Amino acid sequence: MSQHLGAPCLPTVEKGDHVRRGQVVGDVDAFVSAPVHSPVEGEVSEIVEVLSISGTRVNAVRIAPEPDQDVREHERITADAEVDVVRLAGVVGLGGAAFPTSVKLIPPRDKPVGTVILNGCECEPYLTCDHRVMVEQPERVVAGGHAIRRIVGAQGLVIGVEDNKPEAAEALRPHLGSDVELLILPTRYPQGAEKQLIWAVLGKEVAHGELPAAAGALVHNVSTAVAVADALDKGKPLVERVVTVTGNVARPGNYLTLLGTPVSALIKAAGGIVGKPGRVIAGGPMTGVALADLDVPVVKGTSGVVVLEEGETAPAVMNDQPCIRCGRCSDACPMMLQPFAIGIYANRSDWDGSERYHALDCIECGCCSYVCPTRRPLVQLIRQAKHVLLERGSHL
């Protein structure tokens, strides 16, 4: 029931109910939220708390699927306004943030969107799900981009693709038309981060505390664009997504996966783990989360499952590793922050101190932890600080 940023959903079904594919099984009356739909036809076996990928316990609806499934059939979403269709379809950002897409389609009146940017950079190592979507569904990517531009009333539509994805660029070109720009960007991490992409495409900086609309831009992931197009053209709710399963598995690849599928089942579909795993990560190795339990469900924001061998992962360290003030984290930070300072204050539970160093501006790219010679868990410390600051409303 919690597959997005914002208010978690409440179950709208009960144990024993028969549900159809695409039927709403969770919703909540909140602006920043998105309903959850059943990815299968079947019977609700229980409503229970389960462990999520983030490590928290959340409400879930367990569904026992019927043996015969027609994946072409689903409950159709209809509404008078296109934004309402997107909201009712449960579409969220599929690049990882999982922010409800319908909210982003209503920009502030005093900050009109001039350019819609579709993010096809996919700069995270190992992950290739967006690349496959661009290669296999280029016309749907462009259709979603046109729909988003039409809804927000923007003039420009730009698709940004890194130069290490020539196959994706070639697949998109025949579908662009004269009013869509395909921009080939240098391969650089974290090129796909929202603020970095706006700078690369428009040369505009999003100021501290501002939204991308302040720069006249709106960024959506290419897979999100496909979900928007499917919702508007087919009335299809978001019940599945492409997930990269890679690393030390027998058949690495990109799998069209029903939401709610246990990670263990997805790994089994990829032929199982090869060798002795050191860590299994949901997401990519830079921004993902190491899993303690492989039975956690795939959710809307799950872009990948990466299985790493023991020799490919650094040993875990304690929070009190000394900072030697080398400044490498500051040099590596794409947001020009001082991660070492935020980490020190967070380690002391001095949240005011971490706020003074703009902890909330951190995009959690992982660069600081990667370059730290003492292996301080800077991203984890900064995440903790951000959680506390958001809880007490420091972002308002």
Spatial separation of the C-alpha atoms in residues 145 and 141, rounded to whole Å = 6
Q: In what order do the strands lie in the sheet with 289-290?
A: 253-258, 240-247, 304-309, 277-282, 289-290
Report helix, strand or coil for 330.
Answer: helix
**Which pTM was predicted?**
0.92
Domain map (residue ranges) of the chain? 10-65, 82-234, 240-312, 328-391
State whether CATH 2.40.50.100 applies to domain 10-65. Answer: yes
Q: Which two tokens stand for residue 368?
A: 């600081």
CATH architecture of 240-312: Roll (3.10)
Each of the 396 residues of the chain gets a pLDDT tens digit; together they read 999 988 999 999 999 999 999 999 999 999 999 999 999 999 999 999 999 988 889 999 999 999 988 877 888 998 889 999 999 999 999 987 899 999 999 988 888 999 999 999 999 999 999 999 999 999 999 999 999 999 999 999 999 999 999 999 999 999 998 999 999 999 999 999 999 999 999 999 988 878 888 899 999 999 999 999 999 999 999 999 999 999 999 999 999 999 999 999 999 999 999 988 889 999 999 999 899 899 999 999 999 999 999 888 877 665 567 899 999 999 999 999 999 999 999 999 999 999 999 999 999 999 999 999 988 989 999 999 999 998 887 554
DSSP-derived letter for residue 249 is: B
Identical fold at 10-65 and 240-312?
A: no
* Region at 115 (left for phi over 0; alpha for psi -120 to 50; beta for the rest): beta
User: Roughly what angle, to the nearest 10 degrees, separates helices 222-234 and 138-152?
Assistant: 80
Query: Which of 85, 204, 224 is CA-nearest to residue 156?
Result: 204
Q: Which CATH class is domain 82-234?
A: alpha beta
**Cβ neighbours of 215 (radius 10 Å):** 21
